[in-house]
């Protein structure tokens, strides 16, 4: 681990440059294959795309291991390489994306992304090539002016999720919709201690389209331990002493599958059940923060069963 040997400024340069080159090289390869896929949507092209995407994930794993002193990954249940999963997680930092792709145990981790990210160089191109859905939230004011905008996000999400049927995939959704901060927490007057309020639309749409294909839901909680209020700063300077990831492999509750957009009763029940999950997650994160860290343990180098 470079964090133990390199001074903070040099470590920051090495890790940042490594992540940047990893993104540029694999991003260009994935984007090129994505253009080919526009003409030839056949399985060999999809296989090559996912191999290139896996290369990016492996590069992210190198960065995590280089910069972080300890990584603890605890899985309750069994993960399989040939399965389809819906992963829900708390969201604290941009590092969450790098971390979850770097675990090595999740089949083809893909994200629901904010629409603005499509314009980020290499990130947007790669996400487009991998058919990741871009979520464009429409305000109530805009909907009132143009009712036709209602449901556009739903259809775009459904279209992207249909492509996921052809390759084992982990659809990752940061249910809070935004990174946690004390300011956002106060603005929301969130009833949770360590979380923002959950937004149900994204996972409801994914379950509606792929519910019968998902093998399980991965209820994932992430806790970073550093010395400052900035997770990224601690990561790049080698001061992120540990990352703890708990993954609970849960069966898909069939009562969570339905027409979220049109069925008001189902929508209310879905939101209530998601809030129950979120309350339990909030308590679990509090427990993770309290408990002493175990000896160094990482499953990033292990292949999924």
Q: Which domains does the chain have, with CATH numbers?
A: 70-290 (3.40.1130)
Question: Which range is least confidently modeled, 158-172, 231-245, 247-261?
Answer: 158-172
What confidence score (pLDDT) does residue 294 get? Answer: 47
Instruction: Examine the pLDDT at 295 and tell me if it is beyond 60.
Output: no
Question: Which range is least confidently modeled, 9-18, 45-54, 113-122, 138-147?
Answer: 138-147
pLDDT tens for 138-157 read 556 666 676 665 656 666 66
Instruction: Examine the pLDDT at 298 and tell me if it is beyond 60.
Output: no
Band the pLDDT of 280: cuts 50, 70, 90: very high
Is the pLDDT higher at 140 or at 126?
126
What confidence score (pLDDT) does residue 153 get? Answer: 61
Contacts of 241 (CB under 8 A, 6+ apart): 68, 69, 70, 225, 226, 227
What confidence score (pLDDT) does residue 144 get? Answer: 64
pLDDT tens for 55-84 read 999 999 999 988 876 889 999 999 999 999
What confidence score (pLDDT) does residue 303 get? Answer: 39
């Amino acid at each position: 681990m470079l964090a133990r040997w390199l001074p903070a400024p040099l470590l920051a340069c090495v890790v940042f440059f490594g992540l940047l080159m990893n993104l540029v090289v694999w991003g260009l390869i994935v984007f090129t294959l994505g253009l080919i896929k526009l003409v030839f949507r056949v399985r060999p092209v999809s296989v090559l795309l996912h191999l290139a995407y896996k290369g990016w994930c492996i590069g992210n794993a190198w960065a995590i291991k280089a910069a972080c002193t300890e990584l603890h990954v605890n899985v309750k249940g069994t993960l399989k390489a040939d399965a389809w999963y819906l992963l829900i997680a708390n969201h604290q930092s941009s590092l969450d994306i790098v971390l979850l792709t770097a675990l090595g145990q999740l089949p083809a981790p893909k994200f629901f992304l904010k629409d603005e990210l499509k314009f980020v160089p290499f990130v947007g191109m790669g996400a487009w090539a991998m058919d990741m859905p871009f979520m464009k939230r429409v305000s109530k004011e805009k909907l009132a002016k143009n009712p036709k905008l209602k449901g556009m996000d739903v259809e775009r999400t459904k279209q992207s999720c249909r492509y996921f049927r052809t390759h084992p995939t982990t659809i990752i959704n940061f249910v809070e919709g935004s990174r946690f901060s004390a300011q956002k927490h106060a603005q929301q007057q969130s009833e949770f201690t360590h979380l923002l309020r959950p937004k149900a639309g994204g996972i409801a749409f994914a379950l509606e389209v792929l519910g019968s294909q998902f093998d399980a839901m991965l209820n994932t909680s992430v806790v970073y331990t550093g010395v400052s209020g900035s997770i990224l700063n601690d990561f790049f300077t080698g001061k992120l002493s540990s990352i703890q990831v708990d993954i609970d492999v849960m069966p898909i509750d069939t009562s969570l599958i339905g027409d979220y957009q049109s069925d008001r009763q189902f929508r209310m029940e879905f939101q209530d059940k998601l809030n129950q999950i979120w309350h339990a997650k909030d308590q679990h994160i509090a427990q993770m923060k309290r408990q002493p860290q175990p000896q160094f343990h990482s499953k990033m180098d292990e292949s999924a069963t």
